[in-house]
Amino acid sequence: MAIPWKLIALDEGRAVPRDAQRFSGLAFMGGPMSANDALPWIIPALALIGDAVRKDVPVLGHCLGGQLMARALGGSVRGAPVKEIGWGEVRVSDNAVARDWLGPLQVFDAFHWHGEVFSIPPGGTRVLENEHCANQAFAIGKHLGMQCHVEMTGELVREWLRLGAREIARSAKSPGVQKPAAATRGLERRIGALHKAADRIYSRWCEGISRAS
């Protein structure tokens, strides 16, 4: 499915749209900042997410994006008990909402890079979890917020590992942090498997776009 899209680089000073109905869907990506930071675009982004949910415009959040969704919908964001960087298994939660989003998929390896976690907001249902982070994803109707990354490519993984080398070294004692050599081992195979899970998630989310259009 080819979907026309527009990138709004909030961290580069672009204005946050005010009316969610200008769009068929909103996808919020990750970033090194915290959803709790006093950045000028955080509060407007939270307002946009709330507006989208009220107006039934599908919202999708990746890592920071999922944290923003949780805050906007009444949840919270706090420091993670275990920092995660690299590949790690996530399990599909045992409930009807999770099965609706993930189908027969029960477990897969996702990419992680986070030192904070979100709570499940009121009305949300946990759909993904793992050993170090109980709330890897939640769903509310046609809206999905994820802590893990399913959007990765091999190029992105290598770039993040290069740019984040110092952070990895500082966090080496965390049981959820991989060394770069381990994170790139069998990378193309891992990316291929991840994309199968991502295809399921994005296809399910796009069903909401079709109904909203």
pLDDT tens digits for range 54-69: 999 999 999 999 999 9
Kindly indicate whether the domain formed by 26-212 is annotated with CATH number 3.40.50.300.
no
Q: How far apart are CA 46 and CA 27, in angstroms?
A: 13
Beta bridge partners of 61: 28, 145
Burial 194-205 (b: 16+ CB within 10 A, else e): beebbebbbebb
pLDDT of residue 212: 40
Q: How far apart are CA 143 and CA 27, in angstroms?
A: 10
Residue whose tokens read 């939270």: 46
Report pLDDT digits (tens) over 156-204.
999 999 999 999 999 999 999 999 999 999 999 999 999 999 999 999 9
- 11 or 90: which leads in pLDDT: 90
Q: How far apart are CA 190 and CA 153, in angstroms?
A: 10
Report pLDDT digits (tens) over 114-128.
999 999 999 999 999
Among the listed residues 18, 22, 16, 30, the one whose alpha carbon sits nearest the alpha carbon of residue 4: 22
pLDDT of residue 121: 98
Give me the residue spans of the domains in the chain.
26-212
For residues 152 and 201, the answer to whether their CB atoms sit within 8 Å is no
pLDDT of residue 3: 80
